[in-house]
Structure 1
């Protein structure tokens, strides 16, 4: 009787081990970017009395939204095992073409809606070009998008005659400068796309296929996954988000500078993805981690400005943050 009761008695160490491993995985895999954000907010609030002012927070979120929207699409590409260096030049080209379309269509809200739809289509087409170069052309994504980065910027300067494009539509600025429930419209668009992207990545077959392709494309192919189609679609998604960001940025300024628009946006987008915990080697990542990574970058830029740090050193700080994030990923993987 005693031996039976002893044999049925649960092992006390098993729940403890499971609980410990779960907590460890939760802390380092999921909450690390969020913890870093909380610490950064506290340090920023202590460093500058102006940081927590509502106007400053609103400006930070608005600035974050432009590169953050692109970073959402970049997350899909990086999880699938690729990268896109052309997003900044692509944004400039889409922005210039949208302004030209607006001026051709004339005034009125109908022209604005057509232009917004056109930006999304154009961005998706340019993303599809990158996708075709990498899938059908068998060119490494780094090389293919490095080439299209130069092509898109060159075309932007050509179609605009290297001059600033200004919209003649009086309603277009309302898109980028408008507010809803106390927050700028671009911030709401950023959050909405993050929700949609999270559902697509975590709760659909396509999202599981993206992770599978990034983890091991050969195994994914053996599992009856169309690797090339999934990889191609991640570039289309990224192109779509670039089109949305082009609308948000150009409508806020009501103009596009072909030489400066989107400059170094690819660095900010990739940095947000990496800081958010997505592995550069592909296979895993989260959209909410990217959102947190984008906000962290925005706060760092804001604090450097508030503290009077030279703008020439801000790129150094950003590069160091990327290196630290990559090194932390490497240590976790080992």
Structure 2
């Protein structure tokens, strides 16, 4: 019995995926108990439980995708505070492109329907990639610390977007909404499916590709990586460009799911959610270690926690305090692992 407890304790301290998964299971059990079992039949209870979970997953798919990119950024010993503002910028441009009103850019050249959607999505993906690459260039060639570079980008992207979108009442075509609202069976699963596919791809990249190993090398010891022949600046540039691409994907999903965007508030706090998910999932803030699967677990923990706080009627302003507490505890656990 003592040996079993010792092995579990050792796994909890030294294996972030194990400890994060255990916390997630505990959160799921608590949520299930809070939802209760007062239903006419097991089928009714199961349907309610499933619907609740699908709502949680669907509502957090966008930030979940961003958190996956944030994992790579933090693994490279960086940070990105601009993701919320980048989401607003790319989302706003997407809406201008496909706007069915008189100001729709693609409509002005006679491009509508599915061809317009395809062109708009490609343009927005390229835009997100380029915005991320611009941040990467500022960090690598301009030698500006990631915190400062992305903080500045956050201010620029959001303020410029707000300026140009003043009085612009965009109308998103109803057909575009099917990107996120298309039903699989009786459920709207598409945002969840997009999240799962991207998570699977990035998991493979992190575990099976040279790029994934080089990110870890750069985050672990930049000088040693450089001496080993790794093009450090190129890797960092690619990481931030990938981050921008993933944010643009999240923007497309959000616009197609909601059909609109609040340019003043959309994306605010998203960077904190993404960082929290990565750190809770075992990604080291000092770089060199990260887990895509752990980030998925971490995002689910935060999503369930938000749902529970909502069910308990905790005031919105206090919910951020709980999130901050979780992040601090996760970092303290990482410190304990390093000391041990």
TM-score (norm 2): 0.88
* 2:60 match: 64
Shift of 1:280: 0.5
Pick one of 109, 115, 122 that aligns with 1:117: 122
Matched, 1:179 2:166: no
Shift of 1:25: 7.9
Alignment partners' CA distance in 1, 2:35 and 2:328: 26
Native 8 Å contact 1:162 1:259 kept in 2: no
* 1:203 match: 208
Q: Which of the two has higher C-alpha Rg?
A: 1
Matched, 1:79 2:75: yes
Pick one of 303, 308, 320 that aligns with 1:303: 308
Matched, 1:105 2:106: yes
Deviations 1:58-115 (A, max 9, x none): 1100112110000111111100010000000110010000000112224411111222
Q: Secondary structure at the match of 2:174?
A: coil
* 1:286 match: 291
Native 8 Å contact 1:93 1:153 kept in 2: yes
Shift of 1:48: 2.7
Call closer, same or farther: CA 1:162–1:290 in 2, change over 3 Å: farther
Matched, 1:149 2:175: no
* 1:215 match: 220
Native 8 Å contact 1:272 1:293 kept in 2: yes
Alignment partners' CA distance in 1, 2:285 and 2:170: 36
What count of residue pairs does the alignment treat as equivalent?
A: 316
Pick one of 12, 20, 40 that aligns with 1:33: 20
- Structure 1: runs of 5+ lacking an equivalent: 1-15
Call closer, same or farther: CA 1:298–1:25 in 2, change over 3 Å: closer
Native 8 Å contact 1:112 1:171 kept in 2: no
Alignment partners' CA distance in 2, 1:25 and 1:254: 43
Alignment partners' CA distance in 1, 2:321 and 2:88: 24
Alignment partners' CA distance in 1, 2:96 and 2:198: 26
Deviations 1:159-178 (A, max 9, x none): 101655432x2211111222
Alignment partners' CA distance in 2, 1:80 and 1:228: 11
Native 8 Å contact 2:74 2:285 kept in 1: yes
Alignment partners' CA distance in 1, 2:129 and 2:285: 23
CA RMSD for the aligned pairs?
Answer: 2.1
Native 8 Å contact 2:13 2:337 kept in 1: no
Call closer, same or farther: CA 1:296–1:164 in 2, change over 3 Å: farther
Q: Secondary structure at the match of 1:31?
A: helix
Pick one of 143, 162, 168 that aligns with 1:138: 143
Alignment partners' CA distance in 1, 2:285 and 2:169: 36
Alignment partners' CA distance in 2, 1:163 and 1:85: 26
* 2:281 match: 276
Alignment partners' CA distance in 1, 2:337 and 2:206: 23
Deviations 1:196-225 (A, max 9, x none): 101111100110000000000000001000
* 1:46 match: 33
* 1:6 match: none
Q: Secondary structure at the match of 2:307?
A: helix
